[in-house]
Structure 1
Amino acid sequence: MVRFLLRRLVGKALLLVVAASCAHLLAATALDPRGNYEGQRPPPPAETVDALLDEYNLNPDTPLAERYLVWASGVVTGDFGRSWDGSDVTAQLVRRVGVSLRLLALGAALGALGGVLLGALAASRHRGGLDRTSVAVSLLVISTPAVVVAVSLQSAALWVNQVTGSELLRATGEFTPGLNGGPVAQVMDRARHLLLPTLTVALPQIALFSRYQRNLMLDEAGSDYVRTARAKGLTKRAALFRHGLRTALGPAVTYFGYSSALLFASAVFTEKVFGWHGVGEYLLDSVGRGDVHAVAAVCCFGALCVVTAGLLADIGRFLVDPRTRVL
């Protein structure tokens, strides 16, 4: 187990370094923070702009390799640099990470558990009503962009509130400002605000994972040990759940881990639609402002999430599937 973890940790660390480096190099090449100063009225003198860009390590006239080395030396110490307006990128990132992690963690857990359960149930009722309905709904959700899912849930919540004449569901924000009440009221308020964004993140994951899990379970339905279990008197459903599910979970766990990039992309639009001030909103705003260091920092956070999810997926498959322990 120790050797397995060491090999995976070294590989993930190298992958993280490459991803972070590519993120900064691409952002520094494609984005131009100079436009933020030129759009001011009146615009500052050119020499003042150059001085500020040099101070923040953002001047496109400076060689890219030199800017990268300065940025990388700061990242090693936990400093992601400054934005074009002088604000601390690290402070902004730290403040927003907790917001996004609440959304991502709940969405990932609900998506994975819901997808496995729905896929296994659909496979156990192959070509039945549940199977056909889940396939049709899953394909519909998969083909729908995350922003459309978010807006649709938001509109549905507003309609429900209007029909019931109450604020049963909250369509924007993380909490209600100035809410009076004890801890229970505060928790319930945050839960109401969290419900719709979590569903927006989880529904595409449930649809995607259920299709994958269903197909894996159907592949296991024809295996020798499942047929043997059925010959001993178990029903098809019992044989699949008791003997086929664990084997099918091995590749599914790996797929769950490395599909976390899709989860992060979904959270970007979800935060923007529902007014959550997380790293997804920060990324979209930073791209619009040409904020090189902010974009690179968010991409580094996303890469860290994907690499961590991949490592956890490798560990999960190691524990679930004994065959991987000889690799």
Structure 2
Amino acid sequence: MAGFLARRLIGYVVLVAVAASVAYLLAAVALNPRANYAERTPRPPESAVDAQLAAYNLNDKEPLASRFATWAGGALRGDFGRTWNGASVNDDLGRRAGVTLRLVAAGLLLGAVAGIAVGACAAVGQYGWFDRLSTLASFGVLAVPTVVLANVLIIGAVWLNDLTGMKIFLVSGEATPGVDSVLDRLRHLVLPTLTLALGMAAVFSRYQRNMLLDVLGADFVRTARAKGLTRRAAYGRHALRVALIPVATYFAFTFGALLVGTTVTETIFGWYGLGQQLVASIRANDVNTVAAISCLAAVALLVAAVAADVLHAVLDPRVRAT
């Protein structure tokens, strides 16, 4: 198993380096930090703009290869440089990464657990009332855009708050200004978490149902039943374990992708995370921040890929023997 993971890890590291490099090069070519200074009144001299951009490794008059070498050297040391106005990219993204990680971890974990449970029950009772009801509910959720689902939850939360006369759910921001408590953060976390979890649960339930149906009639399941195992034991101990292998891979990569894929949810609920910052950085022609977020996304996918391989090895004994 160690050799298997080592080989995969080497390949993933190379892919991360390539992805981060391409992201920086595309951002450096497509974005124009110089435009931010052109809108100032009075407009600063060209020489002053060049000096300022050069100090932040953003001067487009310098060779692209030189700028890339400077950025890559800093990135290897964990320093992603400065934004176009001189702020530290590391300081800003460090806080935003924690915001997004908290949201994604809660939403994806809740959605995956609920979706796998619903999908497994639907597969075992194929074409029964629960299977039909869960199918209808899943496709209903998948047909609703995230922005609509989020606003429906907000309207429902406001109605419930007014009905009870208490602020049970808080609909804006990650925390109340001036309030530092776990309960306050949890009240802010509920609605955006449900927004992500409902969509994830719908996807996982369909995926898990189909994967489990593929193995329920397999020879090893029938053999387990023939040896005396109960239906529940055969399905849970053997069929579900095999069916979880592709779902575990999907779970890991979904986690990595969602780190910068929660832009809509973060924007609606006022969570200033990585997705919201990526959009803002592109609008601001902030090359270093865009490159840093892309690099973090690549690293997140690397971690997700390793986690998927570990889960695969845990669920499939044949991998551990290689």
TM-score, normalized by length of structure 2?
Answer: 0.92
- The farther-off stretch of 43-52 and 187-196 is 43-52
* Aligned: 1:244 with 2:215: no
Partner AA of 1:124 in structure 2: V
* Aligned: 1:50 with 2:57: no
Seen in structure 2, the aligned counterparts of structure 1 residues 81 and 260 have a Cα distance that, compared at 3 Å, is: same
Write out aligned runs for 1:1-327 (5 A). 1-179=1-179, 186-230=181-225, 239-327=234-322
Q: CA deviation at 1:261?
A: 4.5
Q: Deviations over 1:224-259 (max 9, x none)?
A: 132344556767555422321011111221122223
- The farther-off stretch of 94-103 and 227-236 is 227-236
Q: Name the CA distance, whole Å, in 1 between partners of 2:147 and 2:292.
A: 23
- The farther-off stretch of 222-231 and 79-88 is 222-231
Partner AA of 1:322 in structure 2: P
- The farther-off stretch of 264-273 and 218-227 is 264-273
Q: Deviations over 1:182-235 (max 9, x none)?
A: x8xx22221111111111222222111111110010011111132344556767
Q: Name the CA distance, whole Å, in 2 between partners of 1:143 and 1:29.
A: 37
Partner AA of 1:7 in structure 2: R
Q: Name the CA distance, whole Å, in 2 between partners of 1:89 and 1:24.
A: 14
**How many residue pairs align between the two structures?**
322
Q: Verify the 8 A CA contact 1:220 1:240 in the aligned structure 2.
A: no
Q: Name the CA distance, whole Å, in 2 between partners of 1:133 and 1:264.
A: 31
Q: Name the CA distance, whole Å, in 2 between partners of 1:143 and 1:261.
A: 24
Seen in structure 2, the aligned counterparts of structure 1 residues 208 and 224 have a Cα distance that, compared at 3 Å, is: same
- The farther-off stretch of 143-152 and 20-29 is 143-152
Q: Identity of paired residues, percent?
A: 50
Q: Verify the 8 A CA contact 1:205 1:263 in the aligned structure 2.
A: no
Q: Secondary structure at the match of 1:60?
A: coil
Q: Name the CA distance, whole Å, in 2 between partners of 1:215 and 1:235.
A: 22
- The farther-off stretch of 255-264 and 21-30 is 255-264
TM-score, normalized by length of structure 1?
Answer: 0.91
- The farther-off stretch of 193-202 and 252-261 is 252-261
- The farther-off stretch of 8-17 and 42-51 is 42-51
Q: Deviations over 1:270-294 (max 9, x none)?
A: 2221112222222121111111101
Moved over 4 A (4+): 229-238
Q: Name the CA distance, whole Å, in 2 between partners of 1:206 and 1:262.
A: 16
Q: Name the CA distance, whole Å, in 2 between partners of 1:304 and 1:263.
A: 13
Seen in structure 2, the aligned counterparts of structure 1 residues 68 and 202 have a Cα distance that, compared at 3 Å, is: same
Seen in structure 2, the aligned counterparts of structure 1 residues 319 and 242 have a Cα distance that, compared at 3 Å, is: closer
Q: Verify the 8 A CA contact 1:201 1:266 in the aligned structure 2.
A: no
Q: Name the CA distance, whole Å, in 1 between partners of 2:61 and 2:152.
A: 45
Q: CA deviation at 1:76?
A: 1.0
Q: CA deviation at 1:320?
A: 0.9
Q: CA deviation at 1:167?
A: 0.7
Q: CA deviation at 1:42?
A: 2.5
Q: Verify the 8 A CA contact 1:125 1:237 in the aligned structure 2.
A: no
Partner AA of 1:225 in structure 2: F
